[in-house]
A and B are shown apart, each in its own frame.
Chain A
Amino acid sequence: MLLVWATIASSALAQSPNKGPDEAFATAVAGLASDNFPDKSAAVTAISELHHPNGRAVLATLLDGKLYFRNADNKVFITDGGEAQLALTDPLTAKAAGDAAPDDFTRITTNNSLRKTLRSAVASFALSDPDADVRHAAVLEMLRSIDEDSVVILRARLEKENDAAVKKAMREGLALADLDSSDAETRLAAVKALEKSLSPDVYNRLTAMVVAGEDGAYPEPDERVRTTAREVIAAIESSRAVYSTLETLFFGLSLGSVLVLAAIGLAITFGVMGVINMAHGELMMLGAYTTYVVQQLMPDHIGASILVAIPLAFMVSACVGMLIEQGVVRFLYGRPLETLLATFGVSLVLQQVVRDLFSANNRPVETPAWMAGSMQINEALSITYNRLYVILFMIIVFVILQMVLQKTSLGLKVRAVAQNRNMAKAMGVRTQWVDALTFGLGSGIAGVAGVALSQLTNVGPNLGQQYIIDSFMVVVFGGVGNLWGTLIGGMSLGVVSKVLEPWAGAVLAKIVVLIALILFIQRRPRGLFPQKGRAAEN
């Protein structure tokens, strides 16, 4: 009430003398030097009404007890409150006005009611800030310790507010405050108004209302309000469930993307060429270490380092892959079990090479600023950027790979050799050359996957081992020789793992998925999307 009166009084004060804003502000500030509190209070409200750029600083200083007036001419100054020396600032121009001895000045005193008015006034300055984010922050700040005054201010500002998010926060705060009202109807309306809210505060507050205390009495006396509150709680719970499902789905998709990235190179070497490359995980590891080395070489450009690392990692892993193909795998075509053992030996050697070059400890790989942080969709759902980028990255890699296989002459030859090696040879395809390139392509993709992994997990000599079994599972699940199968297989494995995790725990979820896969292979030994036609017979 006080404030309403004060508002009316101050608008009269501000409007009646038809002066410029600076002059009006100067008058109001001068009014603070008055020796009685009602005058000071009127001056405070006048200042808050004027929205002068310096108004907030003046009021905040007054609240801090650092606003002084000069004894000689009653001129008001903002000071630093120093004991021996006062550093003065002119409130009208916000410029420094030299130092002075404290003896010549008098501190402008406040009392309880004035401080209350001041606090509201300072808050309403933030609430009328042109930046919606500042207003939002101010509302949240006020809600943290809500009292009658802030309720009045919020209610007043609600009319003028035009930003939806700020408005929502205000309504929520007002409704929360209304829950304390003694009038059952007000409480009922407040509960209803909170129906759409997802904030944990609201949820806790509402649940507290309907839980009976030890004496059997409810904190909320009115039966109707309790019933409505229960309904609202149920509504909130169901919409939170929807968002948490969405979040799980997102986590699952990002895990699935990692799996697809790890497996897609394998899908080429294993699926298209029929070669088991147990060193595939180590090729990913090489990609991750390439990222590390690139960051060491350009420590001032971490943001760009990832983009540089992607092609480099592709080159490094592709070269190592082609070396493996030329040195080992080439001699073992048609003997998959031997290939498996030999490439396993290669993987051990690669691990030890990395251990000797970089030490056995994990290497720190920095996350560029543009990949850090998260996108807050609402109070129940936020999306971290690195997971989002992994999904996008996977899609890009997948599309490029499909283009290479479907649209280029190399892709045509790769598919021809995969379908019928001898016929391709007879048509003049240099199958040895194609084999080496295919292996290089699959290995290079592993390197690129390693760059992505370096942002998500520890970069160490064992990085490859963690993913090799999962990758094989994805390829086998999706169906050999089919990139779409790998995509769908990886994504569904990722989502299923994440869906299982909340009620089984991460480790148990993994075990369940592995067992389910083992059982799945029994039912469909050739995966989700088996090859059809003659190629399937081999």
Chain B
Amino acid sequence: MGAIHKGPLLRLLVGERGTAVFLVIVAMVGIVVPVLHLVPAEGSALQLSGYTMTLIGKYMTYALLAVAVDLVWGYCGILSLGHAAFFALGGYAMGMYLMRQIGTRGVYGDPTLPDFMVFLNYKELPWFWHGFDVFWFAMVMVALVPGLLALVFGWLAFRSRVTGVYLSIITQALTYALMLAFFRNDMGFGGNNGMTDFKEILGFSINAPSTRVALFMASALALIAGYLACRAVTLSRAGRVVQAIRDAESRTRFIGYRVESYKLWIFTFSAVLAGIAGALYVPQVGIINPSEFQPINSIEVVIWVAVGGRGVLYGAVAGAVLVNYAKTFFTAALPEFWLYALGLLFVVVTLFLPRGVVGLLDRFGRKPPPAAPPDPEVVTA
């Protein structure tokens, strides 16, 4: 790091109090939780169960997804109702790698074909399954598949200036179409059972405590990295243009910016982040199936962001964790109450909390809103 970069880097890390708090909390959780899981003796009061650690790990992948949605919705005004599709695609890419790792340990013991293919009378591996036995290839696909889909879809949509609710509805149609497709058995992705029963990742047993800790820490790292990347994007010159598009699209276009290109790149970047989140999610929960593509999943992500406070990255993280903690709590304690709570959350947040929990805190803390006039230095830099 040279001296020239020191200023922006500091701004990136601690320029915003919320970000600094977020970084500290995630870093602490990323270290303390594994320690509490591994060090105290089994059954001791201090020991954190594997279940709790995996749950927190799952929340962190959700948080990364929420950050990705916040980037396009909060900063660019694109309300995507299909981001869970990118998440699920990343998850499927990871799932395919994990399926290939099962090898002969499956029920049918076929060295190349996963169980469901043997069951469905596949004679050989479909072409799109080749290469997924190699980890790096699968990881490339985790980013490439959602990214490419977002690129093609976004290129078509933004080029013809599909905006607002129209865009929301066709993104919803996209995830709906994908859901229908993945439910089909002859698509070669396991049909409605999806993929499960994973054995190992990179040669380590997927159920071993050490592997779980590694996955947990990877999620924490991915969340921090993804968050910082998004923050860097929003602080950059391009990020300012993106926010200008959100606030006055036509004016930005008339000033001379290529609105479509900015939208396309931010949308694609966000889809890649969602795919990475999905890839970390699958080995921790141990299953991926087409219900991940359900339109309601995408809408739930949007409500996480809305609850946390859109247009604020740490708000998205807070919203994801809060809503999902509430969901875990309610679905266990009062299952029939959860949909009421979620439904009312949608109504209450949109009617009374347009800036979410973060906005609420700001109001009590008497802080200026985050959408304050930009620092003149950045504009001229």
- Interface of A with B (CB < 8 Å)? 276, 328, 331-332, 336-342, 344-349, 351-352, 355-356, 465, 469, 472-473, 476, 507-508, 510-511, 514-515, 517-519, 521-523, 525
Q: Is the CB of A514 within 8 A of B165?
A: no
Partner of B347, one of A342, A521, A522: A342
> In this assembly, does B340 line the interface, its C-beta being within 8 Å of a C-beta of chain A?
yes
Q: Are A518 and B79 interface neighbours, CB within 8 A?
A: no
Interface centre among A345, A508, A518 (most CB of B within 10 A): A345
11 contacts across the A-B interface (CB closer than 8 A): A340-B79, A340-B165, A342-B346, A345-B345, A347-B343, A352-B343, A507-B183, A511-B180, A514-B176, A517-B173, A518-B170
Q: Are A348 and B342 in contact (CB under 8 A)?
A: yes
Binary interface encoding of chain B residues 321-350 relative to chain A, with 1 for a CB under 8 A from any of its CBs, else 0: 000000000000000100110111111011
Q: Which residues of B contact A348 (CB under 8 A)?
A: 339-340, 342-343, 346
**What are the residues of chain B within 8 A of A472 when measuring CB–CB?**
169, 172-173
Contact A521 B177 (CB under 8 A): no
Total A-B contacts with CB atoms under 8 angstroms apart: 117
Across the interface, name the chain B residue whose C-beta is closest to A524: B160
A120 vs B299: C-alpha distance in the bound complex, in angstroms?
73
> Is the CB of B157 closer than 8 A to any CB of chain A?
yes
Residue among A276, A328, A469, A519 with most chain B CB within 10 A: A469
The answer to whether A508 and B184 have CB atoms under 8 Å apart is: yes
C-alpha gap A118/B342 in the complex (Å)? 78
Q: Which residues of B contact A517 (CB under 8 A)?
A: 170, 173
- In the bound complex, do residue B161 and residue A352 qualify as a contact, i.e. CB atoms below 8 Å apart? no
A348–B299 CA distance with the chains assembled, in angstroms: 11
Complex Cα gap A404–B240 (Å): 49
| Cα distance, A511 to B295, chains bound together (Å) | 15
Smallest beta-carbon distance B308→chain A, Å: 14
B354 touches A (CB below 8 Å): yes
Known: A348-B339, A349-B339, A476-B169. A342 touches B350 (CB 8 A): yes
The 3 residue pairs across chains A and B that have the minimum distance between CB atoms? A345-B346, A348-B343, A349-B343
Give chain A residues whose Cβ lies under 8 Å from the Cβ of B349: 341
Complexed CA–CA distance, A532 and B364 (Å) = 48
User: Could you tell me if B165 and A336 are in contact, using CB atoms closer than 8 angstroms?
Assistant: yes
* Residue in B173, B306, B344 whose Cβ sees the most chain A Cβ within 10 Å: B173
Task: Determine if A337 and B176 form an interchain contact, defined as CB atoms under 8 angstroms apart.
Answer: no
Instruction: Check if B156 is an interface residue, CB within 8 A of chain A.
Output: yes
B157 to A, closest residue via Cβ:
A522
A519 touches B156 (CB 8 A): yes
Interface pair A332/B350, CB less than 8 Å apart: yes
Q: Does B351 contact A (CB under 8 A)?
A: yes
CA distance A186 to B218 in the complex (A): 85
Q: How far is the CA of A349 from the CA of B338 in the complex (A)?
A: 10
Q: Are the CB atoms of A511 and B339 closer together than 8 Å?
A: no
Which residues on B sit within 8 Å (CB–CB) of A342? 346-347, 350-351
> Would you call B350 and A338 a contact (CB within 8 A)?
yes
Query: How far is A351 from B160 in the complex, measured between Cα atoms in Å?
Result: 36
Query: A138 CB to closest chain B CB, in angstroms?
Result: 48
Contact across chains for B156 and A522 when beta carbons are under 8 A apart:
yes
Any A CB within 8 A of the CB of B14: no
